Amino acid sequence: MATVPLGAHLHHCCRLEIPKFTINSLKSKQSSLDCSRKGSSILKNGAKIRNWRPRFDSRVPSRTVIRASSNSSGNTAVLDAAVSDDVIFRETFPLQRIEKVEGKILIRLDSGKDEENWQLTVGCNLPGKWVLHWGVNYVNDIGSEWDQPPVEMRPPESISIKDYAVETPLVKSSTVTEADQIYEVKIDFNTKGSIATINFVLKDEETGSWYQYRGRDFKVPLMDFPNDNGNAVASKQGFAVWPGTSGELSSKLLQSEGEKESNDSKESIQQNRSLQSFYEEHCIVKETQLQNSMNVYMKRSSEASSNLLHIETDIPGDVTVHWGVCKDESKKWEIPAEPYPANTSVYKNKALRTQLLLKEDGQGCSGVFPLDEETRGFLFVLKLKDETWINCKGNDFYIPIPKESTQGSKENDISGSDAEVDEEVSIYTNEIINEIRHLVTGISSGANRKAKSKEAQETILQEIEKLAAEAYGIFRSSVQSLPEVGSDSEEVEDRVKVSSAVGSGFEILLQGFNWESNKSGKWYLELEEKAQELASLGFTIVWLPPPTESISAEGYMPRDLYNLNSKYGSVDELKSLVKKYHKAGLRVLGDAVINHRCAHYQNQNGVWNIFGGLLNWDDRAVVADDPHFQGRGNKSSGDNFHAAPNIDHSQEFVRKDLGEWLRWLRKEIGYDGWRLDYVRGFWGGYVKEYMETSEPYFAVGEYWDSLSYTYGAMDHNQDAHRQRIVDWINATNGTAGAFDVTTKGILHSAIERCEYWRLCDSNGKPPGVVGWWPSRAVTFIENHDTGSTQGHWRFPGGKEMQGYAYILTHPGTPSVFYDHLFSHHKSEIAALISIRNRNKIQCRSKVRVTKTERDVYAAIIDEKVAMKMGPGHYEPESGSQNWSMAYEGNDYKIRSVLNVKSNSRRI
């Protein structure tokens, strides 16, 4: 359950006077805006991105309609037909911005009909679909975070949430004015009961946000109750009037409070103990994601200037374009010669600033920028009136001038042999440079956490050394043939010893089990017989199932981590399997389930949170904010897995024990790396520590997150989704990759709905994690959860080979599911793996997307392999390359260049 802690976003205020505020007086603020993955990183709590159509194809008619965004009135803006006939460039950029609105959570406790019956009212003065997620503590239930309240205490429309809470919707108050607009819920209770506290968090179902108090649940004490966490409200006793109530009602309530104090019923006071009326306000900030767009198009001009660049956007208010031009490919800002558009000023002799003009219909603004014939590119960023800057993926917007529009430029006729020589180097080095940037960003945030700049600098140097080793490994692989299977092991290790997260970069992964594999009891023995076959098919790594003793037969509810006798086989059979695979040239991943662990014993309250075995932890190893297991650790650093106690990785003894366990597995069993289960449950910085401790050859985390949908249809823009995965990889400082769930989801919609235009983002790159950080993306189409007998998110039936045609020809590290390999797909998968290996496609290979339409997607990889998917037609341009059909299947074709450098073979 993701939350927005109040402590991080607002201040706490207690007021005893009559509050004076209306919803119309709330402050509205706009935060930073970006049409990029950096912009998506500010999205919180699963807010959905609106469905944006694919970038325009140059062959569609010039008349272009830009649909109004979600926050507009529904009107449309249409390009002027007079300028549409000669358009030589156009692109629409989706822009995301976060609007912040300040409001208050209102809490009131007062007596009702008599001194035994009281009422708790929780309200919010912001519009929204608010739900109170709440539970209670009973007097004798010490240590429990949540229990369900009795049925008679639950307001109408309440629903049960499992066995520990209820959810009650807030409704608009009938006692306030329209201007105040309070949404509230009233909870009646009897003081003679055994309830000690009422706990709650406020949930906004429109945005998915959860609002807490100081990082924990709100706690309303009803009796003398120890407050160890500092999250109890009513820190100041007293009474104030609910916003919007009349003076007559206020007097009546105050009189009721006075009568209570004058009452000489000692028995009632004793029963109530220290219960007193109070009213509090807690400031909150609601973040609403708004969508806008910007349309940029360019047309030829018959006048002195070569081209006219048009910019129009539906962003309300003043918009200023901060801009310049470049005369070459350097993208260096220069101030062009006049003439300039109206409302233009010079900024520090480095750039120009032009305020866009309001459109006649009032829906946004636009401007026209003349560009001379020497201009090769137009660079700009947008600035709003509230000092918000809008850029593109953290960089400037860059609009290249089409070469065919320049006149008499000799530069366009030069073939540039040096560029051809450097192109192959840049394919790899650019990705490595990007990774260094990712690491520096991640390490900087880590340095802020620890406030130890020296340690941060040392970490940066260590990571750069790893990447330098990786670059050298790529260089070695480009001048030497890959080692043959079964060659001398020491020589192989010397050649491919590079980054621990990605292995050699040429890895192909097989998931070596499905959901039913445990049922034979001899799975390790069955897999051992397949060692030579898997090696001959071209696989390099096999992912094995969880090895530990487990409450569930599948292994994902581990208990004694050092007991490796599981439903898949004995520890000796596991060792024999790993040894056999190593002999065949295969590496092996262990499935490490360290987010949660099942307990051996119950505590004094009957809760299972005491562990046995060599790692005999107590409840300090369990996070404190999971209401099921009464942990005494710290708050979880991720999402809770409610089926088992969630381990608190912030505890030093936990990290020490888990690090030793991973090292023991490496030495005792011979695992070469890890598949990390449910990494959403704990901070990626802990993963970095575990990876540095165990030094795996390859590591991948299961960061599973929901994609964005609108009215049941998957949104085109999934940048926010892949950003969350990239953020986790960043938190690990690149020591582990992640399964590319984004790519799997987009492949689902593209193939199932025949919408292949989805397979390209706004920058012409693959739309998943593989488009941003390919060396850390492990691509897949199915696993034991999504397929097998579980079938939670099964790939479109009969279309599996299209998915494999994509991931086995594209960068990233492809993963093949066991059920697909050992089926009628085996020969096709083997053929695709062979094509990948012969053409030396690897995790950083360069993709050039050449066609994205409704019924066809096509791309060229490393200028060696051309692939197309979908029923539509595509033929790669021949040019100087001689393409030959390498393999063909149902709605996909793979071609390769006949002569591939030193490894010239006809495919």
- Active-site positions read 677, 702
Considering all CA atoms of the chain, what is the largest pairwise distance in Å, rounded to the nearest integer? 101
HSE-CB at 765 with a 13 A cutoff on CA atoms is 15
DSSP 529-557: TTHHHHHHHT--EEEPPP-S-BSSTTSSS
Asked if 555 and 593 touch (Cβ cutoff 8 Å), the reply is: yes
Asked if 659 and 690 touch (Cβ cutoff 8 Å), the reply is: yes
Distance separating alpha carbons of residues 482 and 875, to the nearest angstrom = 31
- Name the nearest CA neighbour of 289 among 70, 76, 93: 70
- Name the nearest CA neighbour of 134 among 159, 171, 109: 159
Q: Which helix (H) or strand (E) holds 407?
A: none
Cβ neighbours of residue 312 under 8 Å, at least 6 residues apart? 66, 77, 294, 295, 356, 359, 364, 365, 366, 367
Q: Where are the beta strands (DSSP E) in 115-251?
A: 117-124, 130-138, 159-161, 165-169, 171-172, 183-190, 195-204, 209-211, 218-221
Query: Which residue intervals of 671-825 are DSSP H helices?
Result: 684-694, 719-731, 741-752, 800-807, 818-821
Q: Which helix (H) or strand (E) holds 580?
A: helix 571-583
- Name the nearest CA neighbour of 442 among 454, 459, 430, 429: 459
Ramachandran sector of residue 861 (left: φ over 0; alpha: ψ -120 to 50; beta: rest): beta
Distance separating alpha carbons of residues 856 and 873, to the nearest angstrom = 7
At residue 668, what is the residue type?
E
Distance separating alpha carbons of residues 744 and 392, to the nearest angstrom = 25
Q: What is the CA radius of gyration of the chain?
A: 31
**Residue burial 469-501, b: 16+ Cβ < 10 Å; e: rest:** ebbebbeebeeeebbeeeeeeeebeebbebbbb
